[in-house]
Chains A and B, each alone.
Chain A
Amino acid sequence: MKALLIRDLKLAFRAGGGFGLGLAFFLIVTVLVPFGVGPQSELLARIASGILWLGALLACLLSLDRLLALDWEDGTLDLLATSPLPLEAALSTKALAHWLTTGLPLVLASPVLGILLNLPGAGYFWLVISLLLGTPALSVIGIFGAALTVGVKRGGLLLSLLVLPLYVPTLIFGAEAARRGAAELDPTTPLLMLAGITAGTIAVMPFASAAALRVNLR
């Protein structure tokens, strides 16, 4: 598992690895929103947490396409399936690598981008916490979608359609926690729900993904 994690991280950081794609998209969305909304700082402050969450989610979605497709094309998945590493473990590791290269940078960049959106001072801490709790779910749900669509040529559209509904609960509770934090309300309930969703998906999704992938490898 360690070998696979290290390999995936290495590949992500080398040329053409796609590291920074999600981050750049996140940056572009959050930079452009103030231009689109116009110079209304109160309005921006109100929608900031929602925009940041939406941007993070779409940035994550953008990178899912490559998650398994590249390993499928060069035959790595076949060889991994016949290796001593269980597919469940391999896919969990790949999800972890995806989170480290996509989710975590988004979490770290969000406070900086919060400034651009005039996020109220109380909101920064809760925004980071909610993203930290929520983005792992985006990666494990994403790998499930990728496993379902891995054999499909240009499966990106299908993947987005399959994965977006599964992302909705995470988005609702994540954005709500960040919004409450920014409005100086108690964000405990949505945060607990968010953590619950993440824990649940981490527990279940690797098995679902491995089952889907086994069917697709036939």
Chain B
Amino acid sequence: MVLEVRDLSVERGGIPVLTGLSFDLAAGQALILRGPNGAGKTTLLRTLAGLQPALCGEISGTQETIAYSGHSDGLKAMLTVAENLTFWAEVFGQKGIDRAMKAYALEPLAERLAGTLSAGQKRRLGLARLLVTARPIWMLDEPTVSLDTQAVAQFAQAAQAHLMSGGAALIATHIDLGLEAQVLDVAPYRARLDAKAGASDEAFL
């Protein structure tokens, strides 16, 4: 198991959103998170990525193994595509961006400033960042927003290759990626509003 989650509760703004969540993620496995808007998919991913503390429950598997990709791609408008990608590769201690550039067909755009890209092209660059992190667990929040069908296929292919090489992925998405993946619907774990699970000192921590 690369990631084990036991009886996890997550909160947003001091209010519990999901409670009693347990699941495992093994190497080579993908888990698709589903649920209506506001169900807590993003909050769950942010908690697992270590960006916010869990209300209670256990997460095993270290944060050092996670590559997180949120709603925004962390791109600098005044840097070129290659510079943006090289920066993230260096931050993650990796060299070489060629494989990532190729996987998302970014080579023709390499010298363009990221600020001049279209929304879909920016997203492709954001997803290419995952390939230069060399981390085993991908945590993706709506990765296919603003991608065209061709780019979605590129993403599915990259994700498939990642899984084949022993990685794992946790993906919150509404569309069918064509991956062999388990589906976890978070709606049944929705916290009741009267469930006050501790966290009275939340504001001070």
Interface residues of A (CB under 8 A from B): 2-4, 7, 10-11, 14-17, 71, 73-76, 78-85, 215, 217-218
B90-A78 in contact (CB<8A): no
Within the assembled complex, what's the spacing in Å between the Cα atoms of A79 and B205? 22
Interface residues of B (CB under 8 A from A): 46, 49-53, 63-64, 66-79, 83, 86-88, 90-93, 129, 133, 205
Q: Is the interface of B mostly helix, strand, loop or mixed?
A: loop
Contacts A74-B72, A80-B91, A82-B66 given; indicate if A15 touches B51 (C-beta within 8 A). no
B67-A218 in contact (CB<8A): no
A65 to chain B, nearest CB (A): 18
Q: List 5 A-B contacts (CB under 8 A).
A: A4-B91, A10-B79, A11-B78, A74-B73, A84-B93
B39 to chain A, nearest CB (A): 19
Summed over the interface, the residue pairs from A and B with CB atoms below 8 Å come to a total of: 75
B76-A76 in contact (CB<8A): yes
B48 to chain A, nearest CB (A): 10
Question: Which single residue of chain B is at the shortest CB-CB distance from A13?
Answer: B78
Contacts A7-B79, A10-B79, A11-B79 given; indicate if A78 touches B74 (C-beta within 8 A). yes
- The answer, among B64, B74, B93, for a CB contact under 8 Å with A75, is B74
Beyond the given A11-B79, A74-B73, A75-B73, could you list 14 further A-B residue pairs with CB under 8 A, ordered by the A residue number? A10-B83, A14-B79, A74-B72, A75-B70, A75-B74, A76-B74, A78-B74, A79-B69, A82-B63, A82-B66, A84-B91, A84-B93, A217-B51, A217-B52
Across-interface contacts of A82 in B (CB, < 8 A): 49-51, 63, 66-68
Q: Is the interface of A mostly helix, strand, loop or mixed?
A: helix
Across-interface contacts of A218 in B (CB, < 8 A): 46, 51-53
Within the assembled complex, what's the spacing in Å between the Cα atoms of A29 and B52? 43
Question: Which single residue of chain B is at the shortest CB-CB distance from A73?
Answer: B72
Question: Which single residue of chain B is at the shortest CB-CB distance from A90?
Answer: B91
A84-B73 in contact (CB<8A): no
Contacts A10-B79, A16-B78, A74-B75 given; indicate if A83 touches B91 (C-beta within 8 A). yes
Within the assembled complex, what's the spacing in Å between the Cα atoms of A65 and B66? 31
B143 to chain A, nearest CB (A): 14
B3 to chain A, nearest CB (A): 14
Interface centre among B53, B74, B87 (most CB of A within 10 A): B74
Within the assembled complex, what's the spacing in Å between the Cα atoms of A71 and B77? 11
Across-interface contacts of B64 in A (CB, < 8 A): 84
B204 to chain A, nearest CB (A): 9
Across-interface contacts of A78 in B (CB, < 8 A): 51, 68, 70, 72, 74
B72-A75 in contact (CB<8A): yes
Within the assembled complex, what's the spacing in Å between the Cα atoms of A75 and B80? 17
Across-interface contacts of A71 in B (CB, < 8 A): 74
A81 to chain B, nearest CB (A): 6
A84-B92 in contact (CB<8A): yes
Within the assembled complex, what's the spacing in Å between the Cα atoms of A4 and B53? 26
Within the assembled complex, what's the spacing in Å between the Cα atoms of A29 and B156? 57
A181 to chain B, nearest CB (A): 40
Across-interface contacts of B205 in A (CB, < 8 A): 215
10 shortest A-B CB distances, which residue pairs? A75-B72, A3-B90, A76-B74, A218-B52, A79-B74, A14-B78, A82-B68, A75-B74, A7-B87, A83-B91
Within the assembled complex, what's the spacing in Å between the Cα atoms of A82 and B129? 13
Question: Which single residue of chain A is at the shortest CB-CB distance from B115?
Answer: A16
Across-interface contacts of A2 in B (CB, < 8 A): 90
Across-interface contacts of A74 in B (CB, < 8 A): 72-77
A193 to chain B, nearest CB (A): 33
